[in-house]
């Protein structure tokens, strides 16, 4: 059991306190160790069924020398859902993340990662995409720590949000703490709406408004799954995301 | 085919079209020329139904139907195609997927069977070949990373695939070098020069008209057609400039 966090914890700053208060403790993190030289894929849908349900999934991932972990998530469904990933990368390791959060109604969705680059030459790439409708809140926080020893780290983090209604909220926050001096760390956050001109272009070519919107939303979330090498799984994940966008997951 | 009568339109409450009247019959190619800010692009957007372009007076019928009462996708399904002056980039959606979904949405609207993947690819390949566009480019996201000329060429490939009855081509010649201009001009002739089709060419310059002979040329100035004539009017405009003729 882990002690309950408070909103003073930066990573819980946007979480609904009333939901946290209802918990006795945080669920334990699932520990995943990727052995040296191995590749470990993870595909997971974080989805609760009911509006009052809480689903917090925590992962603690250790990636050994030269190993890879490629993790892809879809967060959808009602209630409060949170994906919490803490990754430690050994020398030459790689971590790949593609995470999509889709929120409607009053749902709260959180994608929170912490990457610890503790040894030289490790690389990471994180793509987060959030689509918020109605009064939903989506929070994407990516923290990257690069230790003094972790020279030649190459870390990239991109978090983008799509607000479909004026009443929806998206928080996106990269946090970088870098102690090594020869590293590449790229981060970008962008929150916007569907491109009006692209919507009109699609309609002019024949797509009804609803289909034009769907097409653009699908393209937006599909960016998170672009690095899935296994085409069968890539199709699965994009298919799940498409149904989630339609509200038929 | 298209009858525009006393059309007034505003953009952000600013009057742009001020009583435009124009009639196109099947089998005709009309060129609209005019100075910057005359309302040429606005005309294209109003006819295709872009949000924010508000008609305040007048009427437009397309094959006898009230065009202005239709949604943009209904106008497309009815056979109206707008070639964009600045074709839009859509990251994450391939040209093939985009066009197949668009074409099948149009077919569905008209009560026709959708094209299968194989049938569509055959059609797309034929149109890409005819425009000298590599099929690989059609598999890439819509217009992303395309040069200005490639975007315009892609508009013509789309027009060939969609096969509209009426094409409104908004400065399709801008940003093209001489070779691309010829290819695009030939594309317009090949796809649209038919007894059952019509074209409204919006352009600044005479040069596209060297490849696509218009039957009629109109001068659009300050939101109205101020002069109409045959192909010789375009040459006159090129010589004299708009200033003399617009008044």
The predicted pLDDT at position B178 comes to 86
Q: How far apart are CA B103 and CA B76, in angstroms?
A: 10
Say yes or no to pLDDT of B70 above 90.
yes
What does chain A come to in residues? 249
State whether A207 and B101 contact (CB < 8 Å).
yes
Percentage of chain B exceeding pLDDT 90: 73
Q: How far apart are CA A184 and CA A117, in angstroms?
A: 12
Q: Which residues of B touch A200 (CB under 8 A)?
A: 50-51, 72, 88
Q: Residue A158 has which token pair? A: 């991109």
Residue of A194, A196, A206 to mutate when probing chain B, most B C-beta within 10 A: A206
Q: How does residue B239 score in pLDDT terms, banded at 50, 70 and 90?
A: confident
pLDDT in tens, chain A (249 residues): 466 777 778 888 888 877 777 777 888 999 999 999 999 999 998 876 666 688 889 999 999 999 999 999 999 987 889 999 999 999 999 999 999 999 999 999 999 999 999 999 999 999 999 999 999 999 999 999 999 999 999 999 999 999 999 999 999 999 999 999 999 999 999 999 999 999 999 999 999 999 999 999 999 999 999 899 999 999 999 999 999 998 877
Residue of B88, B103, B167 to mutate when probing chain A, most A C-beta within 10 A: B88
Q: Which residues of A touch B48 (CB under 8 A)?
A: 204
Minimal-distance CA residue of chain A relative to B49: A204
By 3-state DSSP, what share of chain B in percent is helix, strand and coil, each rounded to 5? Answer: 40, 30, 30
**Helix H or strand E encompassing A224:** none
B76 touching chain A per CB within 8 A? yes
DSSP state string for B36-91? TTSSHHHHHHHHHT-TTEEEEEEEEEETTEEGGGS-HHHHHHTTEEEE-SSPPPEE
What digits encode the pLDDT tens for the residues B96-119? 999 999 999 999 999 999 999 999
Say yes or no to pLDDT of B205 above 60.
yes
ipTM greater than cut 0.85: yes
Residue B167's SS3 state is: strand
The predicted pLDDT at position A199 comes to 96
As to burial, measured by CB atoms within 10 angstroms (0-12 exposed, 13-18 middle, 19+ buried), residue A166 is exposed
Q: What is the pTM of this model?
A: 0.85
Minimal-distance CA residue of chain B relative to A194: B90
B92 touching chain A per CB within 8 A? yes
Q: Which pairing describes strands A108-117 and A184-192: parallel, antiparallel, or unpaired?
A: unpaired
Q: Residue A200 has which token pair? A: 């009109």
Q: How far apart are CA A222 and CA A220, in angstroms?
A: 6
Q: Bigger pLDDT: B22 or B91?
A: B22
The predicted pLDDT at position A1 comes to 47
Query: What separation in angstroms does the CA of B127 have from each of A5, A35, A91, B101, B132?
Result: 60, 51, 51, 17, 9
CA distance A224 to chain B (A): 11
B112 touching chain A per CB within 8 A? no
Q: Residue B242 has which token pair? A: 């708009």
């Amino acid at each position: 059991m882990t002690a309950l966090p408070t909103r003073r914890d930066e990573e819980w700053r946007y979480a609904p306190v009333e939901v946290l208060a209802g918990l006795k403790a945080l669920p334990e993190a699932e520990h995943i160790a990727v052995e040296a030289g191995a590749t470990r894929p993870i595909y997971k849908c974080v989805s609760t069924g009911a509006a009052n349900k809480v689903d917090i999934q925590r992962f603690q991932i250790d990636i050994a020398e030269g190993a890879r972990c490629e993790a892809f998530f879809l967060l959808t469904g009602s209630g409060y859902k949170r994906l919490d990933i803490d990754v430690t990368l050994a020398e030459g390791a790689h971590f790949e993340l593609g995470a999509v959060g889709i929120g409607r109604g009053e749902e709260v969705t959180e994608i929170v990662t912490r990457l610890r680059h503790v040894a030289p030459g490790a690389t990471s790439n994180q793509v987060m995409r959030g689509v918020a409708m109605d009064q939903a809140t989506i929070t994407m926080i990516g923290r990257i720590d690069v230790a003094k020893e972790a020279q030649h780290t190459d870390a990239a983090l991109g978090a983008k949000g799509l607000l479909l209604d004026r009443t929806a909220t998206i928080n996106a926050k990269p946090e970088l703490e870098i102690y090594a001096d020869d590293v590449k760390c790229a981060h970008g956050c962008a929150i916007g709406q569907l491109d009006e001109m692209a919507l009109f272009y699609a309609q002019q070519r024949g797509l009804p408004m609803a289909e034009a919107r769907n097409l653009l939303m699908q393209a937006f979330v599909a960016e998170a799954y672009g690095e899935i090498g296994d085409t069968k799984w890539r199709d699965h994940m994009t298919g799940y995301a498409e149904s989630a966008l339609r509200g038929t997951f | 085919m298209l009858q525009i009568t006393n059309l007034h339109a505003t953009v952000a409450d600013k009057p742009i079209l001020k009583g435009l009247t124009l009639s196109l019959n099947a089998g005709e190619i009309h060129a609209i020329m005019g100075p910057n800010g005359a309302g040429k692009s606005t005309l294209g957007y109003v006819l295709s139904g872009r949000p924010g372009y508000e008609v305040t007076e007048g009427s437009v019928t397309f094959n006898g139907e009230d065009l202005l009462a239709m949604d943009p996708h209904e106008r497309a399904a009815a056979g109206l195609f707008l070639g964009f002056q600045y074709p839009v980039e859509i990251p994450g959606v391939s040209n093939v997927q985009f066009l197949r979904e668009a074409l099948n949405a149009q077919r569905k609207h008209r009560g026709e069977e959708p094209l299968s993947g194989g049938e569509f690819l055959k059609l797309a390949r034929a149109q890409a070949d005819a425009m000298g566009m590599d099929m690989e480019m059609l598999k890439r996201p819509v217009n992303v990373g395309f040069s200005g000329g490639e975007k315009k060429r892609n508009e013509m490939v789309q027009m060939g695939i969609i096969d509209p009855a009426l094409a409104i081509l908004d400065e399709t010649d801008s940003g093209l070098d001489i070779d691309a201009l010829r290819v695009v001009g030939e594309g317009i002739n090949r796809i649209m020069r038919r007894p059952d089709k019509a074209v409204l060419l919006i352009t600044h310059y005479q040069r596209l008209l060297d490849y696509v002979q218009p039957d009629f040329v109109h001068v659009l100035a300050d939101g109205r057609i101020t002069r109409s004539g045959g192909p010789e009017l375009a040459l006159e405009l090129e010589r004299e400039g708009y200033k003399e003729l617009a008044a």
